[in-house]
Structure 1
Amino acid sequence: MTSPFDAKTEIFQALKNNTLLISLCPGGFHNRNAKPPKDGPEYPRIVYSEIKNGDDDYADNEAISAEVRFQISIFNTAETISSETPIAKEVDKTMKSIGFSRYDSNDLYEEDTKIFHKPMRYLKTYLGGS
């Protein structure tokens, strides 16, 4: 069983094992860092961030499960926005394949950077606690 503390690794491995997702995201997959590189393809890109990772249910003063929440953000420009829906579908399929369920998704536009941002939030319960 994967530990809740290994969720970042589990997500990164799942994303990079999806060859269609790799081809759709030339800007790559990034943990917490939304700032694009100065050279190379910038968009579309995916940024994944841990939102919560904590013990959940208890028995005999011991954690028996942990709740882990992640946000997977898709970033696009006006030139690449047409790829947002295919990327979102692949992200959703990938996250569900490793046991996460989507509980929220939004379509945002960041005025200051002129970037389209689609955050998708996922939840998974790991049995066995931390």
Structure 2
Amino acid sequence: MSFDAKSELLKALKGNANLVSICVGGFHNLKANDVTKFPRIVYAEIRNADEDFADNEAISAEVRFQISIFNTEENISSQTAIAKEVDKTMKSIGYTRYDSVDLYEEDTKVFHKAMRYQKIFR
């Protein structure tokens, strides 16, 4: 199967006006371009594999993403609102959340909420 899941995800994130207004640091794949702007979202595709087969052809694929929300002490109060908007957005395009964890990056003094989602494309 050939599907650009990253493009679908980015379009959905950018299409959420509430999320765009809160995340002044923007949306980035794998790493942020400007590491000084917070809050921001970094997304990474962590799985994209063919699943079901018929006549030796893949008929579905499982895709998983990690959506990471990064905040500093100055804007940590926005983390919950951002997480709710991310969750709403991901569910609107057919993903389900299977994990979420709050982290603190000691070296950079940045709060990191990692949320993991999966979807089966048919």
Structure with bigger RCO (C-alpha 8 Å, 6+ apart): 1
Task: For residue 5 of structure 1, give the secondary structure of its aligned residue in structure 2.
Answer: coil
Q: Return 5+ residue gaps in structure 2 as ranges.
A: none
User: Aligned pair 1:36/2:31, yes or no?
Assistant: no
1:79 equivalent in alignment to 2:77: no
Q: Which moved more, 1:60-69 or 1:43-52?
A: 60-69
Identity %: 69
> Hey, what's the Cα distance between the residues in 2 that align with 1:4 and 1:117?
31
Answer yes or no: is 1:119 the counterpart of 2:114: yes
Decide whether the 8 Å contact of 1:102 with 1:122 is kept in 2. yes
Moved runs in structure 1, 4+ residues, more than 3 A? 34-38
Aligned partner of 1:64 among 53, 59, 65: 59
Structure-1-length-normalised TM-score:
0.89
Residue 96 of structure 1 corresponds to which residue in structure 2? 91
Partner Cα separation in structure 2 for residue 61 and residue 27 of structure 1: 44
Q: How many residue pairs are counted as aligned between the two chains? A: 122
Structure 1 residues without counterparts, runs of 5 or longer = none
The one-letter amino acid paired with 1:9 is S
- TM value normalised by structure 2: 0.94
Q: Show the counterpart of 1:24.
A: 22
Q: Aligned partners of 1:34, 1:56: CA distance in 2, in Å?
A: 31
Change (3 A) 1:112 1:96: same
For the structure 1 residues 56 and 94, does the alpha-carbon distance in structure 2 shift closer, same or farther, using more than 3 Å as the test? same
Point out the more displaced range, 86-95 or 57-66: 57-66
Counterpart of 2:6? 8
